[in-house]
Chain A
Amino acid sequence: MDWQAIWLTARLAAIVSGILLVISLPLAHWIVFSRRRWTFLVESIVSLPLVLPPTVLGFYLLMAMGTRSPIGRLWSDWAGHPLAFTFEGLVVASLFYSLPFAVQPIATAFSQIDPTLREASATLGASTLRTFFRVVLPLSIEGVIAGAVLSFAHTVGEFGVVLMVGGNLPGVTRTVSIAIYDHVQALQYREATITALFMLAFAFVVLLAVYGLRRRPLAAAPLA
C-alpha cells in the first residue's frame, strides 16, 4: 500500500477541515443570521464548487496561482516559489473545493435553532459572541461535527482539482486518489485494488459516523 500517499492525504484533509471549521462557523453564522438581503449571493458563491466541474475550479485556481496573476506573484514574492504544484497550493485549492461541505451542514443546523432562544439570550445581557458559544454552538454541535467530517472526507476524495493544481509529485502533492489513478495507468491492478478498497472502507466508516450521530437521541428530551 502507498503509505506515503495515505499520510499526505490524511495530513491535507486534517489541515483543510480544521481551517474550514474556523472559516465556516462565522461564515454560516453570517449567512443564517444576517438581516442583509444579499446573503443569498454569498451562499451561491460558497456553493459554486458543488456544481462546478473540479477541472474548471482547478483551472481557475491554477491561473490564480501562476506568477502572472497578482495573487500568485504576491505569494511567490513572499514564499520564494510559486504556489502551484506545492502542498500549500493543494491546501488552498482544497479549501475552496470543500468549503460548501463544511458550511452547508453548519448553516442548516444554525437555521434550525428557535430564534427566540437567541433573543432570550440577548435580553439576559449576553453579547452575540457569548450567545454563539453558549446557545448556538451547543445546540448545533451535530451539524458542526457533520461539517467537519464531510469536509475531511471530501478533501480525501478529491481528484480533479488536485491533478490540475498539484500534479503528481510523490510526498508533495500525490494524494491517494492520484495514486490509484497512477497505479491503473501503470497496469498495477493489485496495488490499485488494495488502495481502492482502503478508500471504500474509509468512506463507509465516515458515513456511518455521520448518520449514526444524527440518529443519537438528544441529550434533553424535546419540549412537550
Chain B
Amino acid sequence: MTLAVDLAKRLSSGFALDVSFVAEPGVTILFGASGSGKTTILRCVAGLARPDTGRVSIGDRALFDGDGGVDVPVPDRQIGYVFQQLALFPHLTVAENIGYGLAGLSRDERRTRIAEAADSFRISGLLDRRPGQISGGERQRTALARALVIRPTALLLDEPLSALDYAIQLHIMDDLRRWNAERRIPILYVTHSHREAFALGERLIALQHGRILASGSPHDVLDHPAQAPLAEIAGFENVFGATVVARRDRAGTMQCVLSGTSTELEVPLGGTPEGGALHVAIRAGDILLADREPVGLSARNVLAGAVVDCGMHGSTVVSTIDAGARFVVHLTPGGADTLGLRPGARVWLIIKTYSCRIAV
C-alpha cells in the first residue's frame, strides 16, 4: 500500500505548509532543517494536527479529505508513530508498553504478539523492566516495537535515532528493515542528519520552509543538489554564486568566476551557457590544503590564500581561508599540525573539478 499526502496548513506563527507526495512501501526520508515542516507533516498524517485543506490516504482508504469532510479520529487511523521523545509510558513495563495498543486481543494472543515484537527488536530480556531502567537504545527499540505491534498501515518516525550512537542507529535500522521486508508498509522517517539520510533512505524528500525542494534518491538529492538552497541544507559548507566564463564541451568542464571576486574555478560541464549564472557547491571536507605551491597535480583548481581563522569543532579543525572568496575547509588535527595552520599563514587550496557541484 502507498501513503498519499497532499496537504496545506497555515500555522498562527505565519508558517505555511504546502506539500504533496506519495510514499511507497519502504523508507522515505523527510529531510530538512528544523522549522521546515517535517514534524507537522507527520502530525497531520497521524491526525494529531488538522490540515486546512488536502487529502491523506493509505491505499484507497481516506484518512483525511478536506473536500469530502473525512477526518478519521487518531485512534482509528492505525498508523504507528514513534515520537522524538519516544513517549514511553513511564509507569508501565516494557511488555505493558508494547502491549498497550493490543487491548482488543485475548490475553494469550496479546502475549504472543508482544513476545514476537520484542524478539524482532531484541528486547525479550527486558520485558519486566520500566523505561527508566533501560538504556537509550533499548528505549528506542521498545518504542519501535510498541508502534509496530499493532500492525500499522504506515509508520512515522520523528528523528528517533538522533540521540543514539551511530553503530546503534545502524543496528536498529537493520532490524527495522528486516521487519519491514515482509510487511512492506510505507515508513516516513524525519531527519536533518545527512548520515542517517544516506544510510537509511531509499527515497528522500527535501523540505524547506514548508515546501518540497526536491525528491529522489538521497544520493541524487543531497550529493548533486539542483538548487542553491538545497545545497545549503544538504550540508555543503561552501556555496558560491558564479558566472560561466568559458565552456569546454570536449573536456566536459566549464570555467567559472566566483561572484564579487576574480577567483576562477573549473567545474563539471552543466547546461548553463557562457555568461550565465549558477551556484558552485563544495564540501568543506573535499578541499585539500598545502603549505607551499603544489606542482604536478591532476587537480585543476589550485588557489593561493591566507588563513583567516581556525578552531576545533569536536574532532575536526574548521578553518576559513581567504582566496579571493572565503572557503570553509575541514581537516584533521594531525593535518592541521603538519601544515602549521594558524591565522595569517599562507596556504594553497586544492579542489578537484568533480568536488565542485553545480546548482542553479
Binding site for B on A (CB under 8 A): 114, 116-117, 119-127, 130, 134-135, 138-139, 218-224
Contact = CB atoms under 8 A, between A and B. Distances in A.
Contact of A134 (B83, B100, B130, B131): B100
A133 to B, nearest CB: 11
A126 B103 contact: yes
- Pick from B76, B81, B150 the residue with the most CB of A within 10 Å: B81
Given A122-B75, A123-B77, A126-B101, A223 B132 contact: yes
Contacts, number: 78
Contacts of A138: 91
Given A122-B48, A122-B75, A124-B100, 4 more contacts: A119-B48, A134-B89, A220-B131, A223-B90
A114 B84 CA distance: 13
Nearest to B136: A224
Interface in B124-166: 130-133, 136, 139, 146-147, 150
Interface residues of B, number: 31
B263 interface: no
Contacts of B47: 122
A91 B150 CA distance: 48
B206 interface: no
Contacts of A125: 75-76, 78, 101, 103-104, 150
Contacts of B146: 124
Contacts of B79: 123
A222 B131 CA distance: 9
B312 interface: no
B46 interface: yes
Given A116-B85, A220-B130, A221-B132, A126 B75 contact: yes
A66 B283 CA distance: 84
Contacts of B75: 122-127
Nearest to A121: B100
Contacts of A139: 90-91
A120 B47 CA distance: 12
B345 interface: no
Contacts of A224: 132, 136
B80 interface: yes
A155 to B, nearest CB: 30
Contacts of B76: 125
Nearest to A117: B87
30 contacts: A116-B85, A117-B87, A117-B89, A119-B48, A119-B74, A119-B81, A120-B88, A121-B100, A122-B47, A122-B75, A123-B77, A124-B101, A124-B146, A125-B104, A126-B100, A127-B75, A130-B103, A135-B89, A138-B91, A218-B90, A219-B91, A219-B130, A220-B130, A220-B131, A221-B130, A221-B133, A223-B88, A223-B139, A224-B132, A224-B136
Interface in B28-64: 46-48
A114 B89 CA distance: 10
A96 B149 CA distance: 47
B87 A120 contact: yes
A197 to B, nearest CB: 41
